[in-house]
Amino acid sequence: MNNGKLMGKTVVVTGAAQGIGKAYAERLASEGAQIILVDLKPEPLAEAVEDLRAKGLSAEGKVLDVSNEQDVKRFAQELGQQHPKIHGLINNAAIFSTIKLKPFWEIDASEWDRVMAVNIKGPWMLVGALLPYLRAAGSASVVNIGSDAVWMGKAGYMHYVASKAAVYGMTHAMARELGGDDIRVNTLSPGFTETNVPRETFTQAQLNGIMSAQSLKRVANTDDIVGVASFLISDDSRWLTGQTLHTTGGLLFR
């Protein structure tokens, strides 16, 4: 798909080496955007960039620990020198798949802090660091990735749920503060989406339970989600800010 609606836009996607993050990057690149793929893991990141380039798409990779303040500042400064105008940012990087389910009273404080550092402090720092270049674009869009686990009160990973709950509040506050700069800030809130990670961590019985609770009786794949991200980055959503779009197949009605 290349309708060119993102032509001329430079977009940063974090957590982009694999899974749905890579799918966001590929979809936006296929619509003409120049994509900066960001990830903590150099080797999968290089493979993702190579894969997109092999498809004729514009992509480059940057290694970054979004939870490290100095690393974020370095990244933003270097990126701004290369790309003085940033038109979009998808804050997708998060700790989830490596979390081992346990009651909240058994969560170690260091694990709690690490999840919060990546899932909520990271997006906050990155938007702030990239703000001069988002402003320079004249009009820009930030997409924070939430999770509908928040609304279901999923047991076993309360630190993840709490971190994603904070994302919604952050989106609202950012949207208020950045509206004067014509920077839109919205949340994309996926439900269960099949990528290479969830298939390894969910049993068929669990998948059947998810599907039975949804209005649409199948498991979502990345193609079901990435078009919504494209909409939020594109000028088609130019009058939308401070909102949450739930891509859950009718699991929740909000």
Q: pLDDT band for 106, please (50, 70, 90 cuts).
A: very high
Mean pLDDT taken over the chain: 91
Say what the pLDDT of residue 32 is. Answer: 98
Question: What pTM was computed for the model?
Answer: 0.92
Mean pLDDT of 60-86: 98
201 three-state secondary structure: helix
pLDDT, one tens digit per residue, over 192-236 is 767 744 555 667 776 776 666 766 766 767 788 899 999 999 999
Instruction: Give percent of the chain with pLDDT exceeding 70.
Output: 89
Q: Residue 251 — very low, low, confident or very high, per pLDDT cuts 50/70/90?
A: low
* 24 is annotated as an active-site residue: no
pLDDT the model gives residue 52: 98
Contact by Cβ (8 Å): 118, 164: no
Question: Between β-strands 34-39 and 88-91, what pairing exists: parallel, antiparallel or unpaired?
Answer: unpaired
> Between these two residues, 38 and 210, which has the higher pLDDT value?
38
Q: Which residue matches tokens 């940012």? A: 89
Residue 90: pLDDT band (50, 70, 90) is very high
Reported as a pLDDT band with limits 50, 70 and 90, residue 1 is low
Q: Would you state the pLDDT for residue 100?
A: 87
Q: Which domains does the chain have, with CATH numbers?
A: 10-195+222-239 (3.40.50.720)
What's the pLDDT at 21? 96
pLDDT, mean of residues 91-109: 93
Can you give the pLDDT at residue 46? 98
Check pLDDT > 70 for residue 242: yes
pLDDT over 70 (residue 81): yes
Using an 8 Å Cβ cutoff, are 143 and 123 in contact? no
Tens digit of pLDDT for each residue in 130-169? 999 999 999 999 999 999 888 877 788 899 999 999 999 9
* 200, two tokens: 């390894």
The residues facing 248 across adjacent strands are: none
List the catalytic residue out of 24, 133, 157, 160: 160
The residue behind tokens 């550092």 is 117
